Amino acid sequence: MTGHSPAASMEGTTPTRALSMSTIAFTVCFAVWTIFSIIGVRIKNDLGLSETEFGLLVGTPILTGSLVRMLLGIWTDRYGGRIVYTATMVGSAAATFLLAYATTYTQMLIAALGVGIAGGSFAVGVAYVSRFYPAEKQGTALGIFGVGNVGASVTKFIAPFVLLAWGWQAVAQIWAIALVVMAVVFWFTTGDDPVIRERRRTGAQARSFLAEFAPLSDVRVWRFALYYFFAFGAFVALSLWLPRYLIGAYGFDIAMAGMIAAAYSVPASIFRAYGGYLSDRHGARTVMYWMFGVSAVATLVLSLPPADYVIRGIDGPIALHLAIGPAAFVVLVFALGFVMSLGKAAVYKHIPVYYPQSVGAVGGLVGMIGGLGGFVLPIAFGALNDLTGVWTSCFMLLFVIVAGSFAWMHFAIRRMERASGGGSLASVAAE
């Protein structure tokens, strides 16, 4: 916690304006970041890509957006969110516009690296917004900011129609222009956060660059990062993978698959704000238990492949076909997306509480690991499809991740309770 209250920032940008503009900007950035979830399907057909190559193309922007998060978070702590956020949007817009002129798979991968810079905006926004709010309101504020994940739905709702009307190149160009417009609007409607203004007023120097990395030696940071690998990384991976899954497993066309995937992303994004509220009110640990518990059940059921069984009945063989139909699949995926959205907010509730002076570095690292999940998992999904030939193999992998994360969290909490003399650690604000 920085020690600054909302009132302290009234001389410049208000907390409400900083939060609202950051959320809108993050929505646009997220729409650009997930652009390959739609145009990648057309590119796959045009270039004749394998499932693994498609997974790599879809995941490459996620890789860049993940790797730059820690650095962008540290820069935001040092130089302020206004300038770093704007520069992030302009840089990603340039790469997205140039993507429209790529003609080979290699060129598209290179352009995708630049497109991914948009994903780094999350670390910028977390560090920027958290400085406008006290600890007891940061969960809600960061949860609202995280609603920008809905940008994935914007792409899935609109991009298929733009693609069908004018081609995938038009999608890249229009999304790039939207990002430039957002950068200009953000620059002229926001100001520096209270810490940056105070630093300029007093002439105080920021910590050394190496000192920013000190908290990363704490194993708890890496545990939070694993939670986020599932809560956010798997959300991004499913957001990217669902159109392909629905087309391949259930035979939907690209427009319908995009609409269903968008419908998954909307509540999974919006309810992140509710997750922040629940974390402030009931504690992040409680929310995390619910997230992992429901996710374990959902991924286990979704991992069951269609199967035919022959039972030796009294009057002869009885043939059974067991499969999850499209309606049941959608319900289960929506339930999974809902609890993941709560969990995303709960993870980030921890960071300003435990590391108030290092929100940029710690939040950037956690976001980086979570984002890497969005990069690694689509590739893994494609590779598992190629290796097993089973569509539900992606959910088998997610179940393993959920089970491992749940176990580590539970045993870590039990160890903390024993260390406190058998208490319940109710006095601990988060985790």
Q: What residue type is assigned to position 325 of the chain?
A: G
Residue 56 — φ and ψ, nearest 5°?
Answer: -65, -45
The alpha carbon dihedral of 232, 366, 33, 154 has a sign of positive
Polymer length of the chain: 431
Contact 50, 38 (CB under 8 A): no
Query: In terms of C-beta density within 10 A (0-12 exposed, 13-18 middle, 19 or more buried), how is residue 86 classed?
Result: buried
pLDDT for the residue 327: 85
Spatial distance between the Cα atoms of 379 and 56, rounded to a whole number of angstroms: 5
From first to last of its 431 residues, the chain has per-residue pLDDT tens of 344 443 333 345 788 888 999 999 999 999 998 888 888 888 888 888 887 788 788 878 888 888 888 888 888 888 888 899 999 999 999 999 999 998 899 999 999 999 999 988 988 998 898 888 877 777 788 888 878 877 877 887 888 889 988 988 999 999 999 999 999 999 999 888 787 777 777 766 666 556 666 667 677 888 888 899 999 889 878 877 888 888 888 888 877 887 787 777 766 667 877 887 888 888 778 888 999 999 999 999 999 887 777 788 777 787 777 778 888 888 898 889 888 888 888 887 777 777 766 666 777 788 788 878 877 888 888 889 888 888 889 999 999 999 999 998 888 888 877 776 654 444 444 44
Encode 230-244 in three state secondary structure. Answer: HHHHHHHHHHHHHHH
Residue with tokens 């499913």: 238
| pLDDT value of residue 296 | 94
CA–CA separation, 75 and 70 (whole Å): 9
Residue 51, pLDDT score: 75
pLDDT score, position 256 = 80
- Quote the DSSP letter at residue 206: P
Q: Identify whether the C-beta of residue 77 lies closer than 8 Å to the C-beta of residue 206.
A: yes
Q: What domains can you pick out in the chain, each with its CATH number?
A: 6-419 (1.20.1250.20)
Residue 130 has a pLDDT of 83
pTM (two decimals): 0.71
Angle at 30 between CA 99 and CA 172, to 5 degrees: 20
pLDDT for position 1: 38
CB atoms within 10 A of CB 113: 15
Question: For residue 143, what pLDDT is reported?
Answer: 80
Distance between CA 343 and CA 409 in Å, rounded? 13
**Helices marked H in 389-422:** 393-419
